[in-house]
Each structure stands twice: as C-alpha cells, then as structure tokens.
A and B are shown apart, each in its own frame.
Chain A
Amino acid sequence: MAKPKLSTVFLGGCFGCHMSLLDIDERIIELVDIVEIYKSPLVDRKVFEERSDIGLIEGGCVTEENVEVLLALRDHCDFLISVGECAIMGDIPSLRNTIPLRECIEEAYLNTVSTWNPTHNIPNDPELPLLLNRVHPCHDIVKIDAAIPGCPPRSDALWEALQALLHNKPVQLPYEILKYD
C-alpha cells in the first residue's frame, strides 16, 4: 500500500515552522518511513500531480502568489493545518498592515541609508507578484481544518498531530505541548 502523503508550503513566514518540524530530530527517520513528503520546500517536486492526505501551511498571505499557492494546496489536500502564528494570524509580517504599502516600499528602495539609487528605481517587473495591501491569515482565503499555535509551534506538537492523523486517531494536543510565543 502506498504511504500517505504530506505536503508543506512556505508562504509569508520565516521558515521557523519548517525548522520546528525538523526539530523532531531523530524522529525524522521514523517520519519518512511512515509518510511520503510529497510537495514541500524540502523536496524537489514543483507541481502537484496527486492529492496529499495532509497539508501544512507556514506563513500568511503576503503576495498574490501566496494566495495561488494556498489555493492549490487546498485543492490537493484532504486535511489542511495552519502551522504557527503567521498562518493563523499574520503575525510579524502583518505589522505592516497599519502602514501604507507605499511607505514600506519607499523605505526599502529609496530611503534606507545604504541604498544607492540615483534613478529612483523601484522594482516593477511584470513578473513580480503583486503585494497584497494587507497581510492575510490563511483562513481568510481557504477553509482551514486545524491550527497549531506558536512562533513557531513546538516540534512535539507537530509530531503528535502528525502521528494521530497518520494513524487515524483523534488529535489531542495536551496543553503542555502548546505554546503561543
């Protein structure tokens, strides 16, 4: 029988939630034994061809590309989990939500003290994904089946959740392994 499939995406985050997944340490050896990591920044597959049983989302939606990636993940996953505060709430990237986008961009490309920009270039290539006016949590865009809090969540919480789901058991995360910072 084919192994169940796990896919992960990295949207507007810092990669810390993926790092927390790697923080299961030796259990990674057990993990790759019971599940196929199907599409993820950790493997080389570029497009979905089959469905995944579980999808993990790190990061909120910062660009239109994030939205497309999230929609594709929803289309191809049976059970979708927002992992960490950025996916759940927007978190640090959403600190820009109180500031006009134009100010953020001008700060980066025109005002910062080490910038050398005599022609006042602002990147504007047609291929650059549009920035959203606001950073959105993932549940603004698609239906989310579960969320695991933390910045990042504890690796034990990720491990317990995956274990339960992969063995068709109810997910019960004891309070001790949840955290919110």
Chain B
Amino acid sequence: MKKTIAVLVSTAVFLACEPPPRTDLTRTTQVKSEAAFVTADEVSPTEEYVMVTTAVNMPLYVNHDQAAFRQWAEKMGVRASILGPAEWDVPAQIATLEQVIPTKPAGLLINGTDPGIAQAVNKAVAAGIPTVVYDSEIPNTRRHCFIGSNWYEMGRLQGERMAQLIGGKGKVACMGILGMENMEAGFRGFQDALKKHPGIDFIGKYDDKANVETAAKLAADLIAAHPDLAGIGGFDSNSGPGIALSVKESGKVGRVKITTVDAEPEHLRLVKEGVIDYLVGQKREVFTWLGAQLLFDMRHKTVALSADDARAGVVPIPSTISTGSIEIDRTNVDNFLSKTIRP
C-alpha cells in the first residue's frame, strides 16, 4: 500500500512539473522579441540603468567602466546603479542579475564575464528590459546588443608582436585566468600567432588568478626553470605588473620580452621604463558609454525603424559592435601617460 502511494505521489509530482522550454540556443543573435521591450517618452530622473558585473571592486572596472557609466548617467540625468559580487564569482553575478530583473530597471548593461550567464541574460530580455552585453560576447543569448572587444584578436595581436620582438625564435609562455571564456580565446589567438613561427617553443599557459603576487611568482619560476626564456604574454590586468616585477628582479629587462593587456597607469609607466614592450588595451570607456547610450536610445525610441519597434519585434540598435583594440608601445606611450580627461 505504501509503495503504491509513493508511486502515485511521484507520478503526480512528475506530471505536475512544468518542463523548461526546448529553445534553440545554438546561435547568438537579435531575435524577434517575444515580449515587447519597455519604452518611455519622457526621461525621468528616477529612470535607472543598472550595470551588473562580477569582481565589482576590480580597479580596471572601477577606473574605466564604472567611471564612464556614472559620467554618462550624470550627463543624461538618469540614475546609474552598479551591482555584483566583490569577488570573481560568476554564479553570484547570475544571482544578482536574476534579483535585479524583477525590479524592472530601464536598462541592463551586463559584463559578459562567462557563457554561464546566458540564461540570466535571456531572462532579462524576456522580461522586456533593454539588455546590452559588454566587454566579452556571450554565446547563446538573445541580448539586444553586444559591444566590446574580440579577445581572440587581442591574443593574436599580442602573439604577432611577441614573435616580432623575439625575432621569431625562443621559448614563450603566457598567463591569465585559466577557465575564463574570454581569456581562453585570447590564449588561442596568442598561440595561433606563435604557431606561424616554427622557431618559437610555446612552453605553456599558467593561472595567475588575476593576482600580482601570483603572476610575479609564476614569472620568477618560469625564468628560473628556463634561463633562455624569450618572452611572456599576460592576459589579465595584473599579469603585466607581476611579470614585470620578476623580470626586473631577475635583471632580465630587455632579454625577456613582455606583452600584455590593459593600459592602466602602472602598465603605461612600465612601458615608458622599457620593462613592458607592448600593450594591447580595450576601449573600455567607449564600450560602457556607448552601451549605456544604446540602452537609453532603445528605451526612448531615439531612432525608430517602424511605428512601434517594441511591438513590431524590431530591435532598433546594432546587434554587434566591436570597439577594437588600442596598441601601445614606447613610440606612443607618452600620449596615453599625459591623458587626463576621460569621456
């Protein structure tokens, strides 16, 4: 009798379950909106645009993305909120995003930290919130727009410059955060560029956990293990300063070439000193400013393609914008060092 009841209850529970939709998530594109996105005629001072990221305290984000986003909001007379976990914690970013969606902000500017946030991005779109993914593309989403960098291309640029710097031969390593989609794409681009030079021996990619001390320790170990090391590539904001520290301490400035990402004041200073040879930076202020502006334009129907784009299922902003990269070396670093005004 107990078994029968258990089977009946289990069957009832199974039948009562609402299955997840069988959606085709194999493409990333703007699609005809199932739920019309929210629009407004008037700009209100309470109108709120929310930036959701992870590692919200990371200096790179604070100094570039968040500063540009706040300045944009001030100029437009709207509210800007910046939310997300303090640590690099993608599930916590997803949880933040999912809790922001029911509060129906005017627009969501989401840092494309990991492909795992795809479903949360789709939830925002389904809730009718104008949604822009910035920095790195998230495959399998229905985001209204992606604006940011192509990390594979950034890696390729680094690899090509590294090959040029070391004369097409020697041992090369790279470091960054292993497991992150955008950095793995960068590693691939770096390695693909090096493969064109048979004289280059790629000795591996290492996880510096976006930490200066870890990057310095890794670089020191690499230099100790490979006295003939020709170059190291860096893929997160702290890789460059960490590698530079060890190269300086081992007295190998100029003999171990350094290429890395980002253009923070410390990176620029190290280029000026001749410790770092090449930087490939992102146009972070550009993509956060423009991303927020696209959200605003979408909400306020700045450019209309039909009588009512939201109802017609037309997204009146670009689908994908690549903001490209900034290349910095000793020939142009002074222009960046003397820069004082941000957008």
Q: Are A and B a genuine interacting pair, yes or no?
A: no
Identify the B interface with A (CB < 8 A): none
